[in-house]
Chain A
Amino acid sequence: MEYAIEMLNITKDFPGIRANDNVTLQVEKGKIHALLGENGAGKSTLMSILFGLYQPTSGTIKINGKEVLIDNPNIANSLGIGMVHQHFKLVECFSVTENIILGREDVTKLKTIDLKTVKKKINELSKKFGFAIDPDSKIQDITVGMQQRVEIIKMLYRDAELLIFDEPTAVLTPQEIKELMDIMRGLVKEGKTIILITHKLKEVKEVADVCTILRRGKLVDTVNVAKTTEKEMAELMVGREIDFNIDKPELKLGEKILTINNLNVKSNRGTNAVNDLSLNVFAGEILGIAGIDGNGQSELIYAITGLMKSESGQIILNGKDITNFEIKSRYEYGLGHVPEDRHKHGLILDFKLKENLIIHEYDGKFSKKGILDLKLIDKYADNLISEFDVRSGQGRETITRSMSGGNQQKAIIAREIDRSPDLLIVVQPTRGLDVGAIEYIHKRIISERNKGKAVLLVSFELDEILDLSDRIAVMYNGEFTGVVDAKLTNEKELGLLMAGAKLEEISGNE
């Protein structure tokens, strides 16, 4: 069999930790090879070795059967290895073309950039692989999905034969994911080879031919995707049986906790992000807000939590009009908030874990006369860390930045749930997390509901909304196109609502 890339018996040691332990990865030419594993399983390390960012402690790399030494990314590039990073490396105020050629500018005799040739080449690539991209638009004006395509073209422009996709779907909408899958199939058809780093089984099942599974730095197995079920792969990845079924007892509706009347919110750009929107959330239910990113969900949540001002309308929490309250007093009236962006809002990354755990109440129960009660803080942090199984290098003293995404999110969930808020707002709670962490966080959210709390969930992942919610409100253009019972709806109906069709129209057609 012909392999495009072979990584043989790779071991990589970091001080105190073995990130890859005798891992072998053989990727066939012209195939999509998935690399599956939880956060911290060693996927990124393995790929960083292939990309020349790290040197393996032992082991060899072969490209087309020939042994090679890759000790910096430029060598990887010249060997035809290209990486599409999870966080794009693009210059926002440059055009698509400028970003693509950056670092590899074709020049004319006068040493000016040869835009003509460049554009021709980009258009050819774009046409060949169906990218449908305008080479003249600026990065800041195009969608995230389009930006990702720019990253892909950038690799193709550099004649990459092997493309590594690092968690490519984490930032995409369902439609964009589908389009990306098509692009990947197209690339393979043209003879390219793809390594797909992911922890999403659905994607592996959908596009990959072969799947290599890593767990805790070790190779678990390499399987033929067509012959393996999602459940089997999940269990290989996690190393134990997984309970995909969520235990959700019958809905017991309580009092009205949150009422929103005719709310209007302007976005940062000054456009109307939330239009005259009204909503009730009751104790004991999970209300899911579905919709494609950018339809006013963020602004709605910012208005409720106080991060953004409301233009007009009313927000009533526990009978109290909190529309113009300070953020802090909203928390005091029973609000909990797991924010969409855990790095920007949820955590102070340079703080110790324990400091992040007390961030709402540092001047309340954790200080006496303005002086921090360090003993109480330590004790509280230790309790919370063990109760929510937050893992980190140095326990409560760990600098939060050094923790994995899953554990960072667990810390936020722990902090918010422990305050036992009457209304828990969770936005994108499992973005970028692995199966184990997702399973855990979902259980915690449901148990809040079962305790009789009101939960407002915003997610761009339809599966998550369908799994967790009791009622689903679909948001489009700052309005609700429909509020439906989660048991009586389906993906198709939700998809139509997400695209802007009104509920009345849909039911009228049926």
Chain B
Amino acid sequence: MNKKNEKLLIPFIAIILGILVGCIILIISGKSVNGLLVGLLKGLTGFDIYKPHLGFNLRYPGEFLVSAMPIMLTGLAVGFAYRCGMFNIGAEGQVIMGSLAVTMLAILVPMPKGIGAIVCLIVGALAGALWAFIPGLLKHKFNISEVVSGIMLNYTAMYGANYFLKILPGTNNQRTVDIPSSTKLGSSFLASLTGNSRFHWGFIVVIICVIAYWFIIEKTSFGFSLRATGFNKEGARYAGIKVDKSIILSIMISGALAGLAGAIVVQGTFGYGRVMTAADNYGFDGISVALVGSSNALGILFSGMLFALLKVSQPLLQINGIPREIGEIISSSIVFFVAIQHAIKYILSKLESKKHKSMVNSKGGTSK
């Protein structure tokens, strides 16, 4: 088997196995597997097999995309840092800082329509990048693991953000006031297309980011230096690449992508800032998305959709009498199976050599 096929095959096998685990658990607990499939189909297309006369309710695919967009962005964020050898577990904090910056800017600074939304996006990305700069700098100056500082900064971001959101005028215990419509990404046009879902213009941001990600990593000299650093830091240094610069830049770009995720959640999905008691997990979902998508632009696009589907289908599953946790079980099983990909590779190679052997044996048998 060549390398390229293997790269595609492993996530695919992991997904199948993950769904299989879900099905087995359903069967053991005496629930119907059909309910799962029906729920997933409805989450994806809005078509309910049990109620075919209702046709396609486009609100479902709309909401599915709404929840896919931020985790695609955080998936790109984690993937980008990973390609340069960094594990940006701090994406969660960068999402929160992106959200915070956008909320404060939008509520406190009046901006004209059109420009406002774009300025907010840029500021959200900058906030994420700056938050990511901290672990990058700590790694460069003191060789502190970006994993440890990233996790700490996640908490710092969450509680810090709550403090600032609460001092904004009009904030109650759950949310701020609505941000001005000049800064929102939602549109009545998109809503009308998708049965009044919250689907918003953020999808353009996501598409641009996916293309930019692919282009920078695969086609530019900057991407070349990042990949070299990610594969072999010492080798990159020997080649004359400024490894420290690559590392800090890559985690900042990663942070910017995460910050954008935070921005579109505020500007698009909700339209206000939320005071959070627990993290949204966009950043952590991004880790799973990047892992299953092999840190590759197209892979992240699809795995982002998969994880979003498993998330948005949960209420639908419940309606069909299936515990909503089954969605979580499936998505974590998929991550688990990708994480043990060496075992999968091993089994595949065993299968292959067995096939080979039996071919040889049967040949040997006939020649005798």
B221 contacts A372, C-beta separation under 8 Å = yes
A200 cross-chain contacts in B, Cβ below 8 A: none
Which B183-221 residues have C-beta < 8 A from chain A?
A: 219-221
> Bound state CA distance, A307 and B364, in angstroms?
57
**Contact of B224 (CB < 8 Å), options: A57, A339, A345, A362:** A362
- List 9 contacting pairs A-B, 8 Å CB cutoff, sorted by A: A344-B232, A351-B231, A359-B228, A362-B224, A363-B224, A366-B221, A367-B221, A371-B219, A372-B224
A355 cross-chain contacts in B, Cβ below 8 A: 224, 228
User: Which 4 A-B pairs give the minimum distances between C-beta atoms?
Assistant: A328-B240, A345-B238, A363-B221, A367-B221
B160 on the interface (CB 8 Å rule)?
no
B221 cross-chain contacts in A, Cβ below 8 A: 362-363, 366-367, 370-372
A190 on the interface (CB 8 Å rule)?
no
B234 contacts A399, C-beta separation under 8 Å = no
A449 on the interface (CB 8 Å rule)?
no
Contacts A346-B238, A348-B235, A371-B220 aside, 17 further interface pairs with beta carbons under 8 A come to A58-B364, A327-B237, A328-B241, A328-B242, A331-B240, A339-B238, A348-B228, A349-B232, A351-B228, A351-B231, A359-B239, A360-B239, A362-B225, A367-B220, A370-B220, A370-B222, A372-B219
B231 cross-chain contacts in A, Cβ below 8 A: 348-351
Q: Mark A326-339, 1 if CB is under 8 A from B, else 0.
A: 11101100000101
Q: Mark A41-58, 1 if CB is under 8 A from B, else 0.
A: 000000000000001011
Residue of chain A at shortest CB distance from B218: A372
**Contact of A399 (CB < 8 Å), options: B3, B228, B356:** B3
A326 contacts B225, C-beta separation under 8 Å = no
A347 on the interface (CB 8 Å rule)?
yes
User: Among the interface residues B219, B222, B231, B238, which one has the most CB atoms of the partner chain A within 10 A?
Assistant: B238
B360 on the interface (CB 8 Å rule)?
yes
Residue of chain B at shortest CB distance from A363: B221
> Bound state CA distance, A15 and B237, in angstroms?
37
Q: Mark A1-45, 1 if CB is under 8 A from B, else 0.
A: 000000000000101000000000000000000000000000000
A346 contacts B235, C-beta separation under 8 Å = yes
A372 cross-chain contacts in B, Cβ below 8 A: 219-221, 224
> Bound state CA distance, A191 and B356, in angstroms?
40
Residue of chain A at shortest CB distance from B234: A344
A367 cross-chain contacts in B, Cβ below 8 A: 220-221, 224
Q: Mark B146-170, 1 if CB is under 8 A from A, else 0.
A: 0000000000000000000000000
**Contact of B240 (CB < 8 Å), options: A13, A347, A351, A360:** A360
Interface size class of A (residues with CB under 8 A): 20 to 34
B345 on the interface (CB 8 Å rule)?
no
> Bound state CA distance, A305 and B219, in angstroms?
29
B227 on the interface (CB 8 Å rule)?
yes
Which B319-362 residues have C-beta < 8 A from chain A?
A: 353, 356-357, 360
B238 contacts A307, C-beta separation under 8 Å = yes
The minimal Cβ–Cβ distance linking B49 to chain A, given in whole angstroms, is: 44
The minimal Cβ–Cβ distance linking A22 to chain B, given in whole angstroms, is: 15
A363 cross-chain contacts in B, Cβ below 8 A: 221-222, 224-225
B236 on the interface (CB 8 Å rule)?
yes
Question: Which B positions have Cβ atoms within 8 angstroms of A?
Answer: 3, 219-222, 224-225, 227-228, 231-232, 234-242, 353, 356-357, 360, 364
B238 cross-chain contacts in A, Cβ below 8 A: 305, 307, 327, 337, 339, 345-346
B220 contacts A57, C-beta separation under 8 Å = no
A348 contacts B232, C-beta separation under 8 Å = yes
The minimal Cβ–Cβ distance linking B247 to chain A, given in whole angstroms, is: 16
B225 cross-chain contacts in A, Cβ below 8 A: 362-363
> Bound state CA distance, A57 and B228, in angstroms?
39
Using A55-B357, A348-B228, A363-B221 as known contacts, say yes or no to A307 and B240 having CB atoms under 8 A apart. no
> Bound state CA distance, A359 and B336, in angstroms?
36
> Bound state CA distance, A349 and B233, in angstroms?
11
The minimal Cβ–Cβ distance linking A485 to chain B, given in whole angstroms, is: 33
> Bound state CA distance, A346 and B220, in angstroms?
22
Q: Mark A368-406, 1 if CB is under 8 A from B, else 0.
A: 001110100000000000000000000000010000000
Residue of chain A at shortest CB distance from B353: A55
The minimal Cβ–Cβ distance linking B172 to chain A, given in whole angstroms, is: 48
B235 contacts A345, C-beta separation under 8 Å = yes
B237 cross-chain contacts in A, Cβ below 8 A: 307, 327, 345
B224 cross-chain contacts in A, Cβ below 8 A: 355, 362-363, 367, 372
> Bound state CA distance, A345 and B222, in angstroms?
20
The minimal Cβ–Cβ distance linking A272 to chain B, given in whole angstroms, is: 23
Using A57-B360, A326-B240, A362-B225 as known contacts, say yes or no to A345 and B234 having CB atoms under 8 A apart. yes
The minimal Cβ–Cβ distance linking A338 to chain B, given in whole angstroms, is: 11
B3 cross-chain contacts in A, Cβ below 8 A: 399
> Bound state CA distance, A278 and B167, in angstroms?
67
B232 cross-chain contacts in A, Cβ below 8 A: 344, 347-350
> Bound state CA distance, A360 and B357, in angstroms?
45
Residue of chain A at shortest CB distance from B227: A351
The minimal Cβ–Cβ distance linking B368 to chain A, given in whole angstroms, is: 12
The minimal Cβ–Cβ distance linking B246 to chain A, given in whole angstroms, is: 12
The minimal Cβ–Cβ distance linking A11 to chain B, given in whole angstroms, is: 10
User: Among the interface residues A13, A371, A374, A399, which one has the most CB atoms of the partner chain B within 10 A?
Assistant: A371
> Bound state CA distance, A307 and B238, in angstroms?
7
B239 contacts A326, C-beta separation under 8 Å = no
Residue of chain A at shortest CB distance from B224: A362
The minimal Cβ–Cβ distance linking B238 to chain A, given in whole angstroms, is: 4
The minimal Cβ–Cβ distance linking B42 to chain A, given in whole angstroms, is: 42
> Bound state CA distance, A363 and B232, in angstroms?
18
The minimal Cβ–Cβ distance linking B213 to chain A, given in whole angstroms, is: 15
> Bound state CA distance, A18 and B303, in angstroms?
40
The minimal Cβ–Cβ distance linking B227 to chain A, given in whole angstroms, is: 7
A348 contacts B236, C-beta separation under 8 Å = yes
The minimal Cβ–Cβ distance linking A358 to chain B, given in whole angstroms, is: 8
Q: Mark A148-176, 1 if CB is under 8 A from B, else 0.
A: 00000000000000000000000000000
A339 cross-chain contacts in B, Cβ below 8 A: 238
> Bound state CA distance, A347 and B232, in angstroms?
8
